[in-house]
Amino acid sequence: MDLILQLLANGISNGSQYALLGIGFGLIFGTTGIVHFAYGPVFAASAYVMWWLIAALGLPFPVAVVLGMAFAAGFGVLAYLVIYEPLVERGSPSFVVLVASLGLFIVIANTLAIVFGTDAKTLPDFSYGIYFLGDVVVTGVQIAQVLVFMAVALALSAFLKYGTWGSAIRAVTDNVDMARIVGIDTRKVAIVVFAIGSMISAIAAANLLVREGASTHIGFFAVFYAFIAVVVGGVGSIRGAAIGGLLLGLVESTGMWKLPTEWQSTIAFLVLFVVMLWRPTGLLRGN
Amino acid sequence: MTARIPLLEIEGLSVSYGKRQIVSDLSLTVREGDIFLMLGHNGAGKTTLLRSIFGLLKPSAGRVRYHGADITGRSPKDNVRDGICFVPQGHAVFKRLTVHENLMLGAFIVEDKSILAPRIEAINELFPILSERRDQMAGTMSGGQQQMLAIGIALMLAPRLLILDEPSIGLAPNLVIAVMESIVKIRQSLGTTILMVEQNVEKSLPIATDTMIMRTGRTVYLGLPEGLSDRATLIQYL
Ligand SMILES: Nc1ncnc2c1ncn2[C@@H]1O[C@H](COP(=O)(O)OP(=O)(O)OP(=O)(O)O)[C@@H](O)[C@H]1O
Ligand SMILES: [Mg+2]
């Protein structure tokens, strides 16, 4: 029983991180239709930048996070303006945009390896507490991951529901053609969405930096889990990405109970496969 | 009624998809207060023409003038701000948003949303079902109800020029009549000029003040609706 509770706690915590990544990725994907694989390396780059700001420049953690978010936003918007927009404008089929995004993924990932090396970058003497909830042990980072995810999800929901930009984003997500017809500047919406989505990835990067540091493969895993969370949950809603991410975390952590860790990403694929067979449009879009 | 002042002038407009020319050297004039009816076969290029007038497609040649000003290729966003609204073909609504949210998006460019309550009220009067279904998701309404919402969205701006692409498509006969009546009402109450594509000749011809028939991207008839009143002439063109 204690073990199950412990696995559940781990699952919710990891799931929150996947959900957070999924929300950012899904916002970009749902609104623009662009499968932004370079979301991963942008996430990784912001983790490295935050590490550098803290370890080399000695900036306080919160300041580094804010700067890291700004960096990610700029990077994401640049990717859209320089790579994706020219292709989309030209009416390129979506697989061309997909290939471009994979190309961008490789370029950024390699650049990061050249600039920062391949060894893991961890924060110097960053301590967080360990808490006991009954017999369940959780770390401060695990709790933070859940709280950060909830805060971001609520803030983003409110933004989409009540702001002018939010309603423009929802309109574009629903029907781009109609959005243009009512006079929404769909280009600006794409830019805003790339900025916000990338900022969310930077928040997730801050979590990871505290938990285990930045290393070569974090970008790949980030976009891999974000993608699966979004597809499993259903494209086009925050709730979908959130549910997809949490489910992924829970299934994965209960799977780890009996299986060695090498199977971790295979479990994620299995979740994707099973859900897609059962509900091809994702959990929240059954119709 | 008809002031006969040109509002929209199309001069020698051509539009292509890739190498295929869909609209060829087409000219027409819509005057202030007109209900300009455009008829033609499936695939004649009517939708393509409307979309290029509104700035959703770039014409390869020719001019679009509005109020005498050249608006060729101007973005929909700027056209909307200038009082031109477009209702595209086929239940064009935001399906996963509520009826009310759809109407509010129709007035997206309006900064002061407080002026919109009377407009919504007027639209609800025209299409009472929209107030009954205020908080329903648009995509869960019937096709005809969605079509009314699509027209409602365009009316949120009280446009000067309303471009409609087959507003009666998929509607039951009594609803077709209702929509035609509503178009007449819109023109009367708002002074809106209408440019409309229709397949339902029988129901749309009586309300039209001007008519054009298109075939493979060209004009084959341009004139008063009365010229099409007998069946034989109509069949010749369509
Ligand atoms: N996006 C597109 N790409 C390529 N060809 C297109 C595209 N849209 C329309 N066409 C072609 O242009 C021609 C005219 O289409 P359009 O939709 O303008 O016709 P229409 O007169 O509106 O027909 P309908 O009455 O069926 O709505 C058709 O032959 C169609 O195949
Ligand atoms: Mg058409």
Q: Which domains, from first to last, does chain B contain? A: 6-237 (3.40.50.300)
Q: Does A183 contact B94 at a Cβ distance shorter than 8 Å?
A: no
- The CATH code of domain A2-119+135-278 reads 1.10.3470
Q: Which contiguous run of DSSP H or E holds residue B38? A: strand B35-40
The structure tokens listed for B36 are: 């300009």
* pLDDT at position A1: 66
> Which residues fall within 8 angstroms of residue A130, CB to CB, at 6 or more apart?
A137, A138, A139, A140
**Chain A touched by B86 (CB under 8 Å):** yes
Q: Does B81 contact A183 at a Cβ distance shorter than 8 Å?
A: yes
The structure tokens listed for A128 are: 């967080």
Q: Which pTM value belongs to this model?
A: 0.90
* pLDDT at position B116: 93
Res. A287 pLDDT band, cuts 50 70 90 = very low
Testing ligand 1's pocket by substitution, the residue of B15, B17, B54 carrying the most ligand atoms inside 8 A of its CB is B17
Could you tell me which chain A residue has the CA closest to the CA of B137?
A174
Res. A259 pLDDT band, cuts 50 70 90 = confident
Q: Does A167 contact B94 at a Cβ distance shorter than 8 Å?
A: no
Lowest mean pLDDT of A36-45, A58-67, B113-122, name the range: B113-122
Per-residue pLDDT of chain B (238 residues; tens, 9 = 90+): 445 799 999 999 999 998 899 999 999 999 999 999 999 989 999 999 999 999 999 999 999 999 999 999 999 999 999 999 999 998 899 999 999 999 999 999 999 989 999 999 999 988 899 999 999 999 999 988 999 999 999 999 999 999 999 999 878 888 899 889 989 999 998 899 999 999 998 899 999 999 999 999 898 888 888 877 777 777 777 7
Q: Tell me what the pLDDT averaged over chain A comes to.
A: 92
Give the span between the Cα atoms of B87 and A182, in whole angstroms.
Answer: 9
Q: Is B162 helix (H, G, I), strand (E, B) or coil?
A: strand
Give the span between the Cα atoms of B190 and A14, in whole angstroms.
Answer: 57
- Judge if the beta carbon of residue B16 lies within 6 A of ligand 1: no
